[in-house]
Amino acid sequence: MDLKKILNGYPQRSADNIIKMIQPYDVVSFDVFDTLLKRDVESESDVFDLVERKYNSTHDKKIDGFKEFRKKAESEAREKNVSKEVTIDDIYACLNNKTVGEAVVNELIAADLCSIEKEVETAVCTANQLMMAVFDYCKETGKRILIISDMYWPASFVEELLRNNGIVGYDAICVSAEYGVQKRQKGALFKVVAEKENIGIKRWVHIGDNKKGDYLSAKSAGIATVNIATHYRNTEYLHKSERTDLDKNVISSFINNRISVIDVTGNGEKVEYNDVKLGYEIYGPLLYFFVKWLHAGIPQNVTVLFFARDCYVVKKAYEALYGAEDRYKYFLGSRKSLILAALHKDASLETVARMLKSEQAQMTVHGFLTKLNLNPEDYESEAVASGLKLSTVIYRDRLTENQYFVEFYNRILPDVIDKANQNYEGIKNYINELNCTKDVVVVDIGWRCTMQFCLQEVFPEYNWKGYYLGVREDAVVDAGSQAEGFYLNGENDIEKRCFLASMTALIEIFFSAPHGSVTGYSGNGEVLFAPYECQDDEEHRKFFNDIQNGALRFTTDFGKAAVSEFVNATCSNMLLGVEVLCEKANRRELKKIGNYPFHLGVGVVNAADPKPLWKYIMNPKFFLYDFSNSTWKVAFLKRLIKLKLPYYKIFCWIYRHKE
């Protein structure tokens, strides 16, 4: 445990508390870094890692390990200038003639690195939302405001950083690099400022995070102080991540520095963790990095169809980042509607079974009929005549082996063909209305890519290419030539498949839309919808809406932030929040998401809502049935057993054993 980090987490003062403490004083001075400004990195030295990344991206000779050289250069500069503060030029002068990685630093390289460090500082600095309320209070009440910082950068650059983040209207700025002395040198900078600005110290209070430079040094100069925490933990999950890499530090810090004021009352105070914040923290990175990957791969000047319902929010985010164009279209379709259209060529049970690979492994006869857009009650007598009931559970991968079901399907085959032909005519008219280019890109969450396969079967005159969150190894289209996946790209990776199987609900809850599923098309191409599942469920409708809004807000915030250009668009960054939520969900999310209803082939099943443990002990078959139909299996085990256990590891063992 890092004792310094623990100490720097105190005291966690609110804006109201700070305002009360400074009310009696006429002069208020603010520290800059970790007080008025926060950095979107976990520690100051992470800035040097970003400098290295930026430099290496444009130079052949790499400067691997730059962070340590930069820190040593600053220490060396301070040893040479014991009696005065150093400047940024002093620091980089100490890097001259040093071999850093593959590069020998000369004056030109040192100047380049210094320029990049300035660029990085500009990118990572953001206003501390907590302190903005305090700063605004001081301006509104006419207090004299000073900015005082121990910093090697010149005051002009510190002023620029403040101005970029809306911090203006102070009376004076005093930076140690220009005064030659520091706050931490027994309050030397405070004393110089008091004399220069003609301030009576009894009227003066200083606010800052550093225990020595801002608290003890100010006190030693006779100035009242308000010490605040360096680290405020505002996230609910990302701090629990076991990752320690640079990208995670940037993403987590970016979110932590902004999430506290989402849905605030306006006074800079924290509010209770809510679903908008959950969307910002967990689903924001998922949405942003998927969309960024899409943009890098999708060709120009082709029609792009964002598949309903999964890509409702994806299209919104894509257009928020890259602008709306007529060629971006929200395609109203579903597996049900497209499978039906594709069956007009071949409606054999073998073809149906192959196209249902994306459905749950178990379904009822009732659920099967619903997937073919047939009214189950109309076929009850055919089911009984074949030795089945509408409630009979059938297995997706054994449909052709079940003689009773084969007989039943042959009985209803004429109606299937009739429904398929109707849907085929309708979707032809719908596609014609979209006015697509010959080359068409489809965007979806993916896995087996059934919808794209169906479109290829029905409309071979178009050149189809799919871009997906993931393409499984058993997809019905060819990964690479016909489809590309971000997380999975056709490889048989058991670890990735295990992860997806453990938390399907966390993906499917987010990638949805506020309308019912498409059931088919009328003859003239009109889209036909099923009732929206959450139409009369205000709680779950609001939950879905809030997490999407939170994620969209992160996408726009991060997308317009300069620091985003320093972060790699990788799968691990995309899934950073979802991974933590999957394994370490708190009671609030376990209950809220665990009780979310999913309409599966066997009926309506909550994501992770187990029966009491004793019922499963009495009848293990109930457990196998409920567990197999749970769409968040890690949470299912956690809610069932209620002990602190490594449930994700337990599930992975079960999954591999099953494989």
- Among residues 49, 55, 40, the alpha carbon closest in space to that of 71 is found at 49
* Residues near 73 by beta carbon (within 8 Å), at least 6 away in sequence: 91, 92, 94, 95, 98
Mean pLDDT in the chain? Answer: 91
- Among residues 346, 340, 334, 290, the alpha carbon closest in space to that of 315 is found at 290
Give CA angle at 348 (346, 352), nearest 5°. Answer: 90
Encode pLDDT of 366-397 as tens digits. Answer: 989 988 889 999 999 999 999 999 999 999 88
- Compute the distance between CA of residue 422 and CA of residue 376 in angstroms, rounded to an integer: 18
Q: Are the beta carbons of 422 and 520 closer than 8 angstroms? A: yes
**DSSP string of 285-318?**
HHHHHHHHHHHHHSPTTSEEEEETTTTHHHHHHH
Distance of CA 579 to the CA centre of its chain: 10
pTM over 0.75: yes
CA distances from 339 to 179, 344, 365, 554 (A): 74, 9, 17, 36
Residues 135/139/145/147 CA torsion (nearest 10 deg): 40
- Compute the distance between CA of residue 185 and CA of residue 353 in angstroms, rounded to an integer: 77
463 φ, ψ (degrees, to nearest 5): -95, 110
Amino acid at site 534: C
Choose between 188 and 144: higher pLDDT: 144
What's the confidence (pLDDT) of residue 635? 96
Amino acid at site 450: T
Coil/strand/helix, residue 86: coil
Q: In the chain, pLDDT over 70 holds for what percent of residues?
A: 97
CA distances from 3 to 6, 10, 87, 324 (A): 5, 12, 30, 50
R_g of the chain computed on alpha carbons = 30
Give CA angle at 359 (489, 365), nearest 5°. Answer: 165
Mean pLDDT score, 511-522: 90
Encode pLDDT of 145-202 as tens digits. Answer: 999 999 999 999 999 999 999 999 999 999 998 888 888 888 889 999 999 999 989 9
Class of residue 147 by CB neighbours under 10 A (exposed 0-12, middle 13-18, buried 19+): buried
61 φ, ψ (degrees, to nearest 5): -85, 110
Mean pLDDT score, 419-425: 89
Strands (E), 508-658: 518-521, 527-529, 597-600, 603-606
- Give me the long-range contacts of 347-352 (CB less than 8 A, separation at least 24): 347/413, 347/416, 347/417, 347/420, 349/399, 349/400, 349/406, 349/409, 350/400, 352/399, 352/409, 352/416
- Compute the distance between CA of residue 107 and CA of residue 103 in angstroms, rounded to an integer: 12
- Compute the distance between CA of residue 455 and CA of residue 441 in angstroms, rounded to an integer: 11
What's the confidence (pLDDT) of residue 264? 45
What's the confidence (pLDDT) of residue 32? 96
Class of residue 591 by CB neighbours under 10 A (exposed 0-12, middle 13-18, buried 19+): middle
Which neighbouring-strand residues pair with 226?
207
Mean pLDDT score, 110-114: 96
Encode pLDDT of 307-331 as tens digits. Answer: 999 999 999 999 999 999 999 999 9
First and final CA of the chain: distance in angstroms? Answer: 39
CA distances from 438 to 303, 454, 460, 468, 642 (A): 8, 17, 10, 20, 55
What's the confidence (pLDDT) of residue 651? 94
What's the confidence (pLDDT) of residue 279? 96
Q: Is residue 268's pLDDT more than 80? A: no
pLDDT bracket for residue 1 (50, 70, 90): very low
- Among residues 366, 365, 360, 311, the alpha carbon closest in space to that of 334 is found at 311
Q: Are the beta carbons of 476 and 359 closer than 8 angstroms? A: no
Q: At what angle are helices 633-641 and 576-584 packed, to 10 degrees?
A: 30
Q: In the chain, pLDDT over 90 holds for what percent of residues?
A: 74
Bond from prior residue into 531 cis (ω within 30 degrees of 0): no
Quote the tokens at residue 658: 């099953």
Encode pLDDT of 12-34 as tens digits. Answer: 888 999 999 999 999 999 999 99
pLDDT bracket for residue 6 (50, 70, 90): low
